[in-house]
Amino acid sequence: MTEPHIPSIPEQPDGEGPRAPLSVVLADDAVLLREGVRSLLVDEGIDVLASVGDGDALLSAVAAHHPRLAIVDVRMPPTHTNEGLLAAVRIKRDHPDVGVLMLSQYVAREYASELLGTETPGIGYLLKDRVTEIDSFLDAVHRVADGGTVIDPAVVRALLRAPEQQKAVSRLTPREIEVLEAMAEGLSNRGIAERMFVSLSTVEKAISAIFDKLELAGDEQTSRRVQAVLRYLDDR
């Protein structure tokens, strides 16, 4: 089975040079997973500044080290419910330039929606299974650290099935919904065209129609892409 492509929003320039080394704080109460991810990152030349097991330690580590990226488990002690999510939202509030990549064992659309609702650069939400897809996972790490948005395709599908979202996009055609789903996953216009086997101009026309139907004004296309995705995924 082909691994899912997990790129980011906004689009990254084609032909970009090697990425600069990045720094990471890692938080997960599962020691084996945490150490496995830490080892993977270190092997890739990524500087892991701290590796911790709870939300309070994560917040302290981010404040002390100010990394480019925090990789955070959704559920951590003491209740193993949403401590990681709460810490992630606080990081985006207090340190908006720090990217946050959430890892979750299960699809939880309310967690993704709350994190995406912060509307700051550098946000990701992946299932933990993606860690084993090493190339895709490392690509997500770099892209979120660079200010992109990465959403697991399984999470996107769950969000799009939410009943409250149907009204928000009822004016979109099936093709426009498919394009918006691909935008939520972070595909570029060209990537969408390749996935859907249509021309680039067809994708551009569909995106323009999405902006119009969702009443997203403005001249800056990248900003409106993000607004469209947030409008689509926000369940508040």
d(CA 213, CA 121): 24
User: Under DSSP, is residue 69 helix (H, G, I), strand (E, B) or coil?
Assistant: strand
Closest CA to 191 of 153, 159, 165, 233: 153
Q: How many other CB atoms are there within 10 angstroms of residue 207's CB atom?
A: 20
How far apart CA 50 and CA 52 sit, in angstroms, is 6
Closest listed residue to residue 39, CA positions, set 138, 171, 116: 138
What is residue 45's predicted lDDT score, i.e. its pLDDT? 93
In this predicted structure, what is the pLDDT of residue 37? 94
Each residue's pLDDT expressed in tens, for the chain with a length of 236 residues: 444 444 443 344 344 445 457 999 999 998 998 999 999 999 999 999 999 999 999 999 999 999 999 999 988 888 888 888 889 989 988 999 999 999 988 766 666 666 666 667 788 888 888 888 898 899 889 989 988 878 887 766 665 555 555 565 678 888 988 888 787 766 778 888 999 999 999 998 998 888 787 776 554 554 566 666 666 655 33
CA dihedral 150, 156, 159, 160 (to 10 degrees): 130
**pTM score over 0.85:** no
pLDDT for residue 7:
41
Three-class SS state of 190: helix
- In order of their start, the domains of the chain are 23-152 (3.40.50.2300), 162-233 (1.10.10.10)
What b/e readout covers 209-228, taking b as 16+ CB neighbours within 10 angstroms? bbbeebeeeeeeeeebbbbb
Cβ density class 16-29: b for 16+ within 10 Å, e for less = eeeeeebbbbbbbb
The span from the CA of 226 to the CA of 109, in Å, is 18
Q: Amino acid identity, residue 99?
A: G
Q: What is the DSSP letter of 130?
A: G
Helix (H, G, I), strand (E, B) or coil at 68: coil
Question: Which stretches within the chain are classed as H helix?
Answer: 31-43, 55-65, 83-94, 109-116, 134-145, 153-160, 163-168, 174-185, 189-196, 200-213, 221-233
Q: What are phi and psi of 228, to 5 degrees?
A: -65, -45
The pLDDT assigned to 47 comes to: 96
What DSSP designation does 9 have? B
